[in-house]
Structure 1
């Protein structure tokens, strides 16, 4: 089974410009700031306290003129148009939650993944530098665990990257949803 790291194609499509300061400015004074700031890297649902944030798109690359149908925000969160949500909702709902957001005065949705894929304990290897853990050297998921999951996070990679099976990639391609790159190099940080 092929597994992909899902990346935003920020060389061709605009990215979501929502910073921690934007979040702090838009939540109420009694809100738990850390819950909002850390939610992209946690699988704890946040829908019950979610604030419909207002933000904008921006160009990470000079050639990023187009708006995406689906984009990555902070590595582990998908951002999508209402059309993309309606096309992907059935397959994504078992893996997380949809959170409304307003971008450039238009409705969009974050998809907050709340599902882990189990890593193969024998084939997933840590990387060390001078005896200090710096990340993963090799990442392999258990096929028996991820076979029924469309998208998922890796607990060993600190939940900072969203991964998918071929079913999600095929759905995006079938519906011609633009904005994502599907990389078989699960630990490659670069957009190629």
Structure 2
């Protein structure tokens, strides 16, 4: 089964004027900010600290130009912002692999998606890259086909925590339903 890395797509960036510091202030302050900063490394659930009423705003461009909000966009590198439309189409994929946390963007209900699922890398086809005998990253990345067939969206322990990957089924559903926002790249290790 084919695998893709999620990219920012046509947006080239997120659409929210909102960062993890602002989120932390709404969820409890400095202690929460430390938790959110470490979360990509710990892969901890955010649900236990989540509060109702998290609000944020779009970047001024979206309001000034009347650009509609995307159905799915990257946020913070390792999370996604999901519209209600995208949730109705792909909600099962998100619930199976992570958690959907309600947020409001300009009075529009949306969700912050936190992926908590890792896929198994193919040990034969995933190789390290070295410079002067020191591991500096990955030269190749591949996943076990049987594992990713069951995981529509996932992360890789070997590739780091700022990339999200999807299987072909996810991409097909996304495209068949004309969802907007993110893009998909078959070069799994290309720069984001």
TM-score, with structure 1 as normaliser: 0.85
Once the two structures are overlaid, the 10-residue window that deviates more, 151-160 or 34-43, is 34-43
How far apart, in 1, do the equivalents of 2:66 and 2:3 lie? 27
Structure showing the higher helix proportion among its residues? 2
User: Hey, what does 1:35 align to over in structure 2?
Assistant: 35
User: Which residue of 1 is the match for residue 186 of structure 2?
Assistant: 184
Q: In the alignment, which of 98, 111, 114 is matched to residue 112 of structure 1?
A: 114
Paired position in structure 2 for 1:68: 70
| Structural mapping, 1:1-192, within 5 Å | 1-11=1-11, 15-29=15-29, 31-51=31-51, 52-58=53-59, 65-190=67-192
Contact map agreement 1:98 1:111 (CA 8 A) in 2: yes
Separation in structure 1 between the aligned mates of residue 58 and residue 132 of structure 2, nearest angstrom: 40
**Alpha-carbon shift at residue 26 of structure 1 (Å):** 2.2
Query: Does the C-alpha gap of structure 1 residues 31 and 178 become closer, same or farther in structure 2, counting only changes over 3 Å?
Result: same
Contact in 1 for aligned 2:101/2:112 (Cα 8 Å): yes
| Aligned 8 A contact 1:77 1:110 in 2 | yes
CA shift, 1:41, in A, is: 4.8
Q: Which TM-score applies when normalising by structure 2?
A: 0.85
Which secondary structure does the structure 2 equivalent of 1:160 belong to? strand
Q: Provide the rounded CA distance (Å) in 1 between the counterparts of 2:35 and 2:176.
A: 35
Q: Which runs of 4+ in 1 moved over 6 A?
A: none
Cα–Cα, structure 1 residues 12 and 65, in superposed 2: closer, same or farther, change >3 Å? farther
Unaligned runs of 5+ in 1: none
> RMSD over aligned Cα, in angstroms?
2.5
